[in-house]
Amino acid sequence: MKPRVFVTRKVYPQAVAILQEDFIVDYRDTYEVADPDTLKRKLLLADGIVCQLTDSITAELLALAPKLKVVSQVAVGYDNIDVDAATARGIVVTNTPGVLTESTADLTLALILSVARRVPEAERYLRCGSWKRWDIDLLAGIDLNGKTLGIVGMGRIGQAVARRAQGFSMRILYSAPTPLPPALGDELRAQHVPLRMLLQQSDFVTLHVPYRESTHHLIGVDELAVMKRGAFLINTSRGSIVHEAALVAALEEKMLSGAGLDVFEHEPKVHQGLLALDNVVLLPHIGSATIATRTRMCTLAAENCAAVLKGERPKNPVNPGVLR
Ligand code: GLV
């Protein structure tokens, strides 16, 4: 009997085709997120699951999945999966790092440029018919050239953002638990500093750390208070890394000039305070959303799932200790 793979939601079809080569594929070909009862029912029979960041893969759910060998996430972040519970049950968890680095870094720069040059605000102004003439200070923003960019978390995406920022002649600071090897730090022209110093000195602060207990509200009341007055906060990582209510207060008080946010604490709900502000650019979690990247994320997740079920080593195990 072929192993059975449950695909929780719509994916690019190439991923389904990969899985169909060797497995029975139970494909929920819909954008609707599966409710917990559906997930429970499906996992009773599944040997593998291909899931997305919208699926809560809890310890309780894993306990009810007697045959499950692999949870393959179509994303680099996997905070929706109880990895400890999976590990305890010998279930491999995989993700899709690497393939979305450039797309996510591109979107980060798009947000930086959007807030600096007020692009969405300017477009709204034109579309609603407010544009009557050219004025000397109409929608004047700020230059990136010579400004300081603070990158919090200098992994793959942080480094790709640094490469792009060089092209805009920005000074680059970064904070990370361990500094980059000196040659790479020099190549990126990026200086390793403590988080507090980064917040104090940066005109733009951009977040590129994974979400976990230790990064919950990493940017909270105290951190917002030490940020340079008039700075901008950019977040393309996970919403809960920022204390959203505190950010709204800092923006309302004009401690910050603006924010560019692709992720939120309670997606798809967006804080009413953010929606009411003109100086924030809000996007619906599209950091990696190019057709090529999302297709590759789906096929990589399928390959990871297939590898585990065939007894091979997957490319991207999150809990490699489970693999013998
Ligand atoms: C998207 O947010 C991802 O983690 O890949």
Q: What is the pLDDT of residue 249?
A: 98
pLDDT band at 91 (very low <50, low <70, confident <90, very high): very high
97 CB under 6 A from ligand 1? no
Residue in 256, 235, 103, 112 with CA at minimum distance from that of residue 120: 112
Instruction: Answer yes or no: do 219 and 122 share one domain.
Output: yes
User: Per residue in 181-217, pLDDT tens?
Assistant: 999 999 999 999 999 999 999 999 999 999 999 999 9
Q: CA 15 to CA 297: how far, in whole Å?
A: 9
Separation of CA 133 and ligand 1 centre (Å): 42
Instruction: Answer yes or no: do 146 and 74 share one domain.
Output: no
Q: What is the pLDDT of residue 216?
A: 98
Q: What is the pLDDT of residue 324?
A: 73
pLDDT band at 139 (very low <50, low <70, confident <90, very high): very high
CA distance to 4, 197, 251, per residue, from 220 (Å): 44, 15, 13
Q: Give the chain's domain count.
A: 2
3-state secondary structure of 22: coil
Instruction: Answer yes or no: do 94 and 117 share one domain.
Output: no
Instruction: Answer yes or no: do 177 and 254 share one domain.
Output: yes
Residue in 311, 40, 268 with CA at minimum distance from that of residue 49: 40
Query: Residue 153 region, left (φ>0) first, then alpha (ψ -120 to 50), else beta?
Result: left
Instruction: Answer yes or no: do 90 and 111 share one domain.
Output: no
Report, as an integer, the average pLDDT of 146-172.
98
Instruction: Answer yes or no: do 46 and 107 share one domain.
Output: no
3-state secondary structure of 233: strand
Instruction: Answer yes or no: do 40 and 187 share one domain.
Output: no
Domain that holds residue 306: 4-99+291-322
Instruction: Answer yes or no: do 46 and 120 share one domain.
Output: no
- Residues of the chain above pLDDT 70, percent: 100
Q: Read off the CATH number of the domain in which 19 is found.
A: 3.40.50.720
CA distance to 36, 128, 151, 175, 320, per residue, from 44 (Å): 12, 53, 43, 43, 24
Instruction: Answer yes or no: do 38 and 155 share one domain.
Output: no
Q: CA 262 to CA 202: how far, in whole Å?
A: 20
Instruction: Answer yes or no: do 314 and 254 share one domain.
Output: no
Q: What is the pLDDT of residue 312?
A: 98
Instruction: Answer yes or no: do 74 and 177 share one domain.
Output: no
Instruction: Answer yes or no: do 19 and 121 share one domain.
Output: no
Separation of CA 78 and ligand 1 centre (Å): 8
User: Per residue in 24-40, pLDDT tens?
Assistant: 999 999 999 999 999 99
288 CB under 6 A from ligand 1? yes
pLDDT of 4 > 90? The answer is yes
* Mean pLDDT of all residues belonging to the chain: 98
Report, as an integer, the average pLDDT of 276-302.
98
